[in-house]
């Protein structure tokens, strides 16, 4: 079986939405009943995204199989409503590590090990292996960075070689560029696209499609001009103008004939009738548009609040829940370090504390968790937000002295949150947290059981610390219940306060399982409580 490959490259500048273009093309092919998946290539030297700062690089997306991945993997999962394994996020570090390891083992004995062919072969082998292991009709590969970057050269060279080896009927390139307008009524400028395509052709890649970002639809004359300079036919110069929601981009591309053009170029006969798929997808996209009259205001309190992308999956999950409940969820990000007067939180229908690490900003979050409890404001704490809610309760309800997590204060007298025992031997920081999907057992007759309608679920994790079990009897006697656990009762997974309007903490990350049309249950219950 021959997989068809579509390689997506980027030009002009970063942040043009290559991930959305990649996901949208994949979605269109999926809607046409093709078996598809996506790969993200990240040309940086981190082995994975786990060691990067979310404020600089965006969220670390955790896969079911425990990968700490680039946030584009989250986009693929949300668009395709399918799990993407961690080997679909390929980095420079992974490629070089494998090659160097093989060299040390003597696998290239006698040879001079070089970028071409050894690094490029390692890249193409990885891409081909995913295509054949998963028996894919189409594999869409997004190459991170911008053409012209030194870092991405070996990857682009590998992809170029794949077109030579697999043939033009099996490989095509989509290049994402920008047509800026200098003022509202101004002309759409084509020069950045021209230059970017020249740069791509200089390294031997002729794009088949151009996906051109612009604010308003690309004019026909602009398409023709771009076509003339880039050797891409005008029909395959696609306008990627601003949309109300990213989930409208598949339709925008479809309306310009991309699917027909892909099938024609790849020599596939006709498209299958997929109207049922389209109806279902359109219903989901429709549900995601705002219900402006019914607002729910959520305060998201944390320390990585300067970049919206730091918690992109949480934002999406709240919107999915809003769509299901026909509410428009508005999110304000509040820096936990800057709150002076906690009564400012009264303005909100609900308070959400997402994941986080380290000391900075944690006192503000602990106070926030306590304020939400005292004022009966719906509260959802995720991972760090779960752990800090326990600290707040220990301090203010149990009135214990010096309550903390050992992550924040190593010698706390009452370490209600402590390092996972298996973490005590670990010194490497990369990929060493408790990661990925773990089964969770939910206690009967609890709010958690009502939320999930089940006594067991599997959820994704990313943490090093956990609730210290020694304190649980005391907490439960005073009204904070631990309603779910994992690893045979060793780990606490969910807390709730039955006397509160809605007070829930989860050790896992429910946001990674939420998808358009399939909102994660915890978010639905939280938004529902906030809307009341």
Does 407 participate in binding ligand GLN (rule CB under 6 A)?
A: yes
Whether 88 sits among the annotated catalytic residues: the reply is no
For the CB of residue 108, give the shortest distance to ligand GLN in the complex, in Å.
40
> Which of residues 5 and 304 has its CB atom nearest to ligand GLN in the complex?
304
Alpha carbon distances (Å) from 95 to 71, 155, 187, 431: 20, 10, 43, 16
DSSP H or E stretch at residue 140: strand 138-143
> Which of residues 298 and 435 has its CB atom nearest to ligand GLN in the complex?
435
**Cis peptide preceding 117, ω within 30 of 0:** yes
How many residues belong to the site for ligand GLN (CB under 6 A)?
A: 10
> Which of residues 119 and 383 has its CB atom nearest to ligand GLN in the complex?
383
Rounded CA separation 349/527 (Å): 9
Does 381 participate in binding ligand GLN (rule CB under 6 A)?
A: no
Q: Which of 69, 466, 509, 520 is catalytic?
A: 509
Rounded CA separation 132/3 (Å): 7
- H helices present in 288-412, as ranges: 312-325, 362-374, 384-396
> Which of residues 163 and 462 has its CB atom nearest to ligand GLN in the complex?
462
- What is the dihedral sign for C-alpha 102, 105, 108, 112? positive
The answer to whether 73 and 40 have CB atoms below 8 angstroms apart is yes
For the CB of residue 16, give the shortest distance to ligand GLN in the complex, in Å.
29
Rounded CA separation 461/475 (Å): 23
The answer to whether 486 and 440 have CB atoms below 8 angstroms apart is yes
> Which of residues 190 and 313 has its CB atom nearest to ligand GLN in the complex?
313
Which one among 333, 384, 482, 502 touches ligand GLN, defined by CB under 6 A?
Answer: 384
Which one among 345, 383, 391, 529 touches ligand GLN, defined by CB under 6 A?
Answer: 383
> Which of residues 209 and 384 has its CB atom nearest to ligand GLN in the complex?
384
The answer to whether 516 and 510 have CB atoms below 8 angstroms apart is no
> Which of residues 7 and 526 has its CB atom nearest to ligand GLN in the complex?
526
Q: Which of 68, 485, 496, 511 is catalytic?
A: 511
Rounded CA separation 414/391 (Å): 9
For the CB of residue 433, give the shortest distance to ligand GLN in the complex, in Å.
6
Rounded CA separation 96/80 (Å): 30
Does 155 participate in binding ligand GLN (rule CB under 6 A)?
A: no
Report 416-475 residues binding ligand GLN (CB under 6 A).
Answer: 462-465
For the CB of residue 298, give the shortest distance to ligand GLN in the complex, in Å.
18
The answer to whether 334 and 300 have CB atoms below 8 angstroms apart is yes
Whether 240 sits among the annotated catalytic residues: the reply is no
**Which residue has its beta carbon closest to ligand GLN?**
355
Closest CA to 484 of 464, 503, 502, 504: 504
For the CB of residue 387, give the shortest distance to ligand GLN in the complex, in Å.
6
One character per residue 335-374, x = contact with ligand GLN (rule: CB under 6 A): --------------------xxx-----------------
For the CB of residue 515, give the shortest distance to ligand GLN in the complex, in Å.
20
Report 465-524 residues binding ligand GLN (CB under 6 A).
Answer: 465
Q: Give the pairing type, strands 481-486 and 61-62.
A: unpaired
Q: Which of 383, 407, 466, 485 is catalytic?
A: 383
Rounded CA separation 254/21 (Å): 12
* 35 phi-psi bin (left φ>0, alpha ψ -120 to 50, beta other): beta
Where in the sequence numbering do the catalytic residues fall? 383, 509, 511
Residues that bind ligand GLN (CB under 6 A): 355-357, 383-384, 407, 462-465
């Amino acid at each position: 079986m021959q997989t068809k490959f579509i390689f997506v490259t980027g030009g002009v500048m970063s942040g043009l939405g290559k991930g959305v273009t990649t996901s949208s093309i994949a979605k269109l092919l999926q809607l046409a009943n093709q078996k598809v998946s996506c790969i993200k290539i990240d040309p940086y030297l981190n082995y994975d995204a786990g060691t990067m700062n979310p404020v600089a690089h965006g969220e670390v997306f955790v896969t079911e199989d425990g990968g700490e991945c680039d946030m584009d993997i989250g986009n693929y999962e949300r668009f395709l409503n399918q799990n993407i394994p961690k080997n679909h996020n390929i980095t420079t570090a992974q490629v070089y590590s494998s090659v160097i390891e093989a060299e040390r083992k003597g696998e290239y004995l006698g040879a001079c090990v070089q970028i071409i062919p050894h690094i490029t072969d390692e890249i193409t082998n990885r891409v081909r292996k995913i295509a054949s292991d998963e028996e894919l009709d189409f594999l869409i590969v997004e190459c991170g960075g911008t053409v012209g970057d030194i870092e991405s050269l070996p990857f682009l060279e590998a992809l170029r070689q794949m077109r030579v080896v697999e043939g033009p009927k099996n490989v095509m390139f989509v290049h994402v560029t920008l047509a800026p307008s200098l003022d509202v009524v101004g002309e759409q400028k084509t020069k950045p696209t021209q230059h970017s395509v020249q740069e791509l052709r200089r390294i031997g890649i002729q794009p088949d499609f151009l996906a051109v970002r612009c604010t308003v639809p690309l004019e026909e004359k602009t398409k023709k001009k771009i076509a003339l300079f880039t050797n891409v036919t005008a029909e395959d110069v696609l306008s990627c103008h601003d949309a109300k929601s990213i989930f409208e981009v598949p339709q925008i591309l479809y309306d310009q004939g991309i699917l027909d053009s892909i099938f024609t170029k790849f020599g596939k006969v006709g498209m299958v009738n997929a109207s049922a798929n389209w109806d279902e997808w359109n219903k989901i996209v429709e549900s995601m548009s705002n219900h402006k009259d019914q607002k729910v205001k959520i305060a998201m309190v944390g320390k990585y609040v300067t970049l919206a992308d730091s918690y992109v999956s949480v934002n999406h999950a709240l919107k999915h829940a809003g769509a299901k409940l026909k509410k428009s969820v508005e999110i304000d990000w509040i820096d936990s370090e800057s709150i002076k007067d906690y009564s400012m939180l009264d303005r909100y229908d609900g308070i959400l504390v997402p994941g986080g690490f380290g000391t900075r900003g944690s006192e503000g979050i602990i106070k926030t968790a306590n304020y939400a409890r005292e004022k009966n404001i719906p509260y959802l704490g995720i991972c760090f937000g779960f752990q800090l809610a326990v600290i707040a309760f220990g301090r203010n309800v149990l009135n214990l002295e010096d309550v903390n997590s050992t992550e924040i204060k190593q010698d706390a007298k009452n370490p209600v949150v402590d390092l996972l025992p298996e973490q005590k031997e670990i010194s490497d920081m990369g990929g060493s947290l408790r990661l990925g999907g773990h089964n969770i057992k939910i206690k009967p007759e609890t709010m958690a059981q009502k939320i999930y309608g089940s006594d067991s679920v599997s959820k994704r994790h990313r943490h090093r610390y956990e609730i210290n079990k020694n304190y649980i009897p005391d907490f439960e006697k005073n009204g904070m219940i631990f309603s779910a656990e994992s690893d045979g009762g060793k780990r606490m997974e969910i807390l709730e306060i039955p006397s509160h309007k809605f007070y829930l903490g989860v050790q896992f990350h429910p946001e990674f399982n939420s998808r358009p049309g399939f909102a994660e249950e915890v978010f639905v219950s939280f938004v529902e409580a906030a809307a009341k």
